[in-house]
A and B are shown apart, each in its own frame.
Chain A
Amino acid sequence: MTEHSPIRRFLPHLWLWIAIVVIVFPIWLVFVASTRTNLEILSAPMSVLPGSHFLENYFRVLTEGGHALGESAWMMMKNSLIMALGISVGKIVVSLLAAFALVFFDFRFRKAIFWSIFVTLMLPVEVRIMPTYKVISDLHMLNSYWGLILPMIVSATAVFLFRQFFLSVPREMAEASQIDGATPMQFFGEILVPMTRTPIAAMFVIQFIYGWNQYLWPLLITTKEKYYTLLIGINRMLAGADVEIEWQIVMATVLLAMVPPIIVVIVMQKQFVAGMTETEK
């Protein structure tokens, strides 16, 4: 602010560019590998410039996939998308309803319900793997989309974000709608939810990424390749000795797995940043 020497002005750019290089370089390597033949990759070091097999590799990845796996990336992309949308939309719907009840109604057990949602706040699925697996197995939901989606819908974050927002809505609006003869659900659907557009969009970005990037849970409950998500497919293709791996195919799949969530973040950056920093409160 008061410092104007040329070096001081230049240094921030230097640091930020170093950071960008560190972020981009590994991804660039993945892209390069996805445009080369496996032979070129295996005869290390691979060149750091793109090769000429881009179309060939991606065509194969999308239509048939690697030899180690019987599924195409197209199929796995579909599964990842179903899981990501199921989790994000499911969380938003379930949380909106719960937050509506918690804020606009007075009922017995309100406090108890609030707390029972609260304790789920930070407990990641990683710490209760086996018992959750057993529940899904008892419900016959192994190898199914329901099994992939439902356990991930538990989210205190979304309930809190919506609750926070609802608390800031003037109560006179609810009262007025009541006087005008609207039912609580009409107030919810026609007034409250449209007002909540921005938090909903923010939550969608965060939960879509969360869902798309789930790993441990699908790893546990999908044994049929038909239900593999992209991340599980990548893990399966990387099993085995280094020389047997089809690196160019794996890397093309890695790139395909990265692109959708990155696009979502870049396109909706504003909502995303707002949503992230709002839930902190």
Chain B
Amino acid sequence: MAKQYEFPSKGLPYLLVLPQMIVVVLFFFWPSIQAVWQSFFLQDPFGGRVLFVGFENYANLFMDKSYAASFLTSTVFAVAVAMSALVIALFLAVQANRKIAGATFYKTMLIWPYAVATLIAGVLWLFMFNPNVGVIAWVLQRKLGVNWNYLLDSNQAFLLITLAASWKQVAYNFVFFLAGLQSVPATLLEAAAIDGAGPAKRFWTIVFPFLSPTTFYLLVMNLVYGFFETFPIVHQVTAGGPGKATEILVYKVWRDGVINLDLGGSSAQSVILMFLVIALTVFQFRFIERRVTY
């Protein structure tokens, strides 16, 4: 490859990246280092004494049954949200990608929920299912005889936040699946149809392989969403309850740090979460890189 033209300039490039680097260092690297640093200390919540405890905060976490439980809750939650949002979005994208009347209208109607804040998604579902004022809750209680009260029943609480979180995420996945579907060559599908492949066979042997990079990308993004970005829903709808039934990891970090003022413990949790995200990022990137070199 011939050498690309580059501007001859000594100081300018540094000046150009300076704002970005200031923000990255100040609000990313510095806090991350702080998190690692603080995770080795035990801090008096009233700001007095600080005690170096080494890996004790981590040891405490790994022995803490409620942390293991929170890990499990998060994983089940993230996987449930990712799976339902992916399957529903793929199904709807396939429907909307057909040559049907009103396809543009359908697409718009399925895309715009992306703009709805995660918190709002939580409020919408809270309002429908609130045991005292919710319209759907009323139908469940009075018409269907379900003993509906997600504030007391942990399975119901878990179901409700999963529905609210998936409801919002479908639009995001839909955008990507639709773009992916449009890149499938129509001639290939026609040829397969002429050879006698039915719609199901065409989907699994031609369309789905075409979509696999998109699906993989979305899977990682959906897991990140489920693990980390669903804090507003949990905070608003269940507050981690009833008991600790819906206490996902980010909610626990927040509660231990902000409410219980356990800085060391909260920092240790942050560090573990950071490793989790970095692992997901590296995983994602290796995959993308391989795809690019194809």
| Residues of A near any B CB (own CB < 8 A) | 1-3, 9, 11-13, 15-16, 19-20, 22-27, 29-30, 33, 41-42, 44-46, 48, 93-95, 97-98, 100-102, 104-107, 110, 113, 116-124, 126-132, 134-135, 150-151, 153-154, 159, 171-172, 174-175, 178, 184-185, 187, 209, 212-213, 215-216, 219-220, 231, 234-235, 238, 242-243, 247, 250-251, 254, 257-258, 261-262, 264-266, 269, 272-273, 276-277, 280-281
Contacts and interface: CB of A to CB of B under 8 A. Distances in A.
B112 A265 contact: yes
B111 A128 contact: no
B128 A29 contact: yes
Given A26-B127, A131-B35, 8 more contacts: A12-B95, A127-B250, A150-B26, A231-B117, A231-B120, A242-B130, A247-B133, A262-B116
Interface stretch (B44-52, B65-73, B262-270): B262-270
Do most interface residues of chain B lie in helix, strand or loop, or is the interface mixed?
A: helix
B107 to A, nearest CB: 8
Contacts of A213: 115-120
Contact of A129 (B7, B113, B133, B254): B254
B212 interface: no
B89 to A, nearest CB: 10
Given A26-B125, A113-B17, A132-B27, A171 B266 contact: no
A75 B257 CA distance: 30
A104 to B, nearest CB: 5
A281 B287 CA distance: 11
Interface centre among A129, A174, A266 (most CB of B within 10 A): A129
Secondary structure of the A contact surface, majority rule: helix
Interface of B: 4-7, 9, 12-14, 16-17, 19-21, 23-24, 26-32, 34-35, 38, 88, 91-92, 95-96, 98-100, 102, 106, 108-120, 123-128, 130, 132-135, 137-139, 167, 170, 172, 175-176, 178-179, 189-190, 193, 199, 214, 217, 224, 228-229, 231-232, 235-236, 250, 253-254, 257-258, 263, 266-267, 270, 273-274, 277-278, 280-281, 284-285, 288, 292
